[in-house]
Structure 1
């Protein structure tokens, strides 16, 4: 009972200190984990929360971030970290008075512990330079943080509300020629001069990986030559599509692509005025173009539907709102033939995404990715299917969403 009382007292004392830095003394090492004396109790620094190849001996002084405080049946209940991005943020708060006072705010932190880090800062006082304040006189402030983090190199980047501008800053020291943002897919393409490619990617992809963590976006880096080559390939591919599907000559097909038309659906269902704005296109030509495009799409839909039925797709999936015949055909070829099969899919299986394996970003191809289905659209489709099947209660779902919105507002 005395031991339980001590543990309760320790929990009560430290539960409100979660998210702060604490100083302690190393007591012992157990299976690579460090047990730390923090005054009125013990804490644990797990081996995966240590920076690089750090090693400690008994009685060494140690500074760490309190990552979590929770009740445990036995053993320490205060969990420390030296690799958490917020550890760096708290160190800067201790070294830079302007951050502590709220004049400068740390908006984002990304770390490759023990190697390199990027930190985004903003100043709410126009007379104070946020980067200069964090660096300090002759680098004294940032050097104090670097020393604590075993020589981790730190890039201090000015925060900007504009995603493209912030990303250009985040990819320093590389120079960026152009940024293309896909807001729906949460992706961003960065075009850099050929000689800047290795600098932008960084050693083992470190620079682009940290910039991605900092901005929260998937970043694809292309050289100017690659981007030009891809643009030409896309132009040729769309030209060929319009020539074959609409029975046009090469010049007319190129004219459509040059005017910004990227698919047959756009030609078929766009307002007639947009086609009439193309030089040399009169009302008769525009109507003929739309008729040809619609006929071709309907024929493709008929063929896709026939293939899907041959593969054994049930009417429940064919009639599901939101899936085109081509989408149903693609799903059928992957063995998804019923609404139940579809409802068990994960959103990323449909829309695609990225997975980090051994520090490398690996592309996951989505079943419906070629139809430009976004992650949000995939989530909506799957959830609608589950509701139709009675797997999910719409009232419970609305209650959960309302609760989540309330939590977000409270945090804000």
Structure 2
């Protein structure tokens, strides 16, 4: 708590009172500076500004005359005793030419007004310092406590600061309970009508990387490096790792004995599945690993290696694609290629780039059909599966389009769900 300022009778103290004032005033300054983690000089400037503001308010006529003469008001303040004098003079005048204009009993009159100004400026200085501190920590993971909801934003206590998690940084299937503890990524500092805000995220892929750095000593020390990460927040993440030191198994290091390390990360992400893959410069080998658990895969790359046709046994098609296309979509992001998945018995041709905006984009639907579905909030595979009657009644969806949607959905519904 900020100790109260008392400026009354400060210019009429005897020697004993001055000693007390010196002790109390200096102690108060240092206490505020320590508690709020701001420089003493900032507090002194706040006191000076407060005294000038009080003079302008309580002695408005005198202040106006000084302004009309083109003069400015300054404050001489002793940081040890708290004694002060208000002075006025031309901006280009020397200090000795400034005139003392301190009204009798001004300390007592100014006390309450000055206190409010000081409190406001100290709060602003404290917030500026907090923002500067977190500016240097962007990209780090921290643990916070859910304080409250502010509209659609989740407000998180992250220590000295307050984090704001907007809807786009929230995981869709997570519920943020009051006073629950969560790990968040310090994402950005953004301006808003409320001032600068510390933005935190639960969806950013770097959160997963930071959690592995915290839970896996080899990642934290740089012996094991996270090369590429592809994430569908709340559902599944594929992470590729490599070792900088001979004899160190990057995948084993991240998994840990009996899976204890990766499980710690999974727990922080509320059960999100994580596939850990060894990175390889060999795209063929890397892509086959990325498409696991599908096996017996045949790859055919385009001449510029930007696209690849993946042929899988018919009974492996659902594994390669994954529920809602998740497996192939994350593999495309991880390796950085367009992927066309085909069965060795039939060839409907499912094309995935890894840059799809919505889950239904992995179906490869015609543009107009896709736009109609998005416009009706049917953006997930699950939405289509459970709302086919609604889809059938949508204007612009003809019989041919409907049959195409059903065929794509059939190919995308896996017969089994791969384990993490």
Scaled to the shorter chain, the TM-score interval is 0.5 to 0.7
Name the residue aligned to 2:148: 28
Query: 8 Å contact 1:44–1:76 — kept in the other structure?
Result: no
Query: 8 Å contact 1:168–1:176 — kept in the other structure?
Result: no
* CA pair 356-362 structure 1, distance change in 2 beyond 3 A: farther
Write out aligned runs for 1:7-406 (5 A). 7-75=127-195, 77-184=197-304, 186-226=306-346, 356-361=357-362
Deviation of the 1:156 alpha carbon: 0.6
Q: Which has the higher contact order (CA 8 A, sep 6+)?
A: 2
Query: 8 Å contact 2:224–2:243 — kept in the other structure?
Result: yes
Segments of structure 1 that go 5 or more residues without pairing to the other structure are: 231-351, 367-412
Q: Which stretch shifts more, 194-203 or 355-364?
A: 355-364
Query: 8 Å contact 1:353–1:365 — kept in the other structure?
Result: no
SS of equivalent to 1:4: helix
Deviation of the 1:15 alpha carbon: 0.6
The structure with the larger Rg is 2
Deviation of the 1:159 alpha carbon: 0.4
Deviation of the 1:172 alpha carbon: 0.4
Query: 8 Å contact 1:28–1:36 — kept in the other structure?
Result: yes
Give the alignment's Cα RMSD to 1 decimal: 2.6
Name the residue aligned to 1:274: none
CA distance in 2, matches of 1:52, 1:37: 21
Name the residue aligned to 1:309: none
CA distance in 1, matches of 2:196, 2:360: 30
Query: 8 Å contact 1:354–1:361 — kept in the other structure?
Result: no
* CA pair 125-17 structure 1, distance change in 2 beyond 3 A: same
CA distance in 2, matches of 1:159, 1:185: 17
Query: 8 Å contact 1:117–1:210 — kept in the other structure?
Result: yes
Q: Which stretch shifts more, 19-28 or 183-192?
A: 183-192
Query: 8 Å contact 1:355–1:364 — kept in the other structure?
Result: no
Query: 8 Å contact 1:119–1:156 — kept in the other structure?
Result: yes
Q: Deviation string for 1:4-33 (max 9, x for gaps)?
A: 323321221111111001122222112232
* CA pair 97-359 structure 1, distance change in 2 beyond 3 A: farther
Deviation of the 1:145 alpha carbon: 0.5
More helix by share: 1
CA distance in 1, matches of 2:145, 2:133: 18
* CA pair 355-34 structure 1, distance change in 2 beyond 3 A: closer
* CA pair 6-365 structure 1, distance change in 2 beyond 3 A: same
SS of equivalent to 2:126: helix
CA distance in 2, matches of 1:61, 1:357: 30
Query: 8 Å contact 2:299–2:311 — kept in the other structure?
Result: yes
Deviation of the 1:52 alpha carbon: 3.2
CA distance in 2, matches of 1:142, 1:104: 14
Segments of structure 2 that go 5 or more residues without pairing to the other structure are: 1-119, 368-420
CA distance in 1, matches of 2:320, 2:305: 22
Deviation of the 1:188 alpha carbon: 1.4
Q: Deviation string for 1:231-255 (max 9, x for gaps)?
A: xxxxxxxxxxxxxxxxxxxxxxxxx
Name the residue aligned to 1:316: none
SS of equivalent to 1:225: coil
CA distance in 1, matches of 2:229, 2:209: 7
CA distance in 2, matches of 1:355, 1:133: 32
* CA pair 354-144 structure 1, distance change in 2 beyond 3 A: closer
Query: 8 Å contact 1:354–1:364 — kept in the other structure?
Result: no
Please report the TM-score for the alignment, with normalisation by the length of structure 2. Answer: 0.54
Query: 8 Å contact 2:338–2:354 — kept in the other structure?
Result: no
SS of equivalent to 1:58: coil
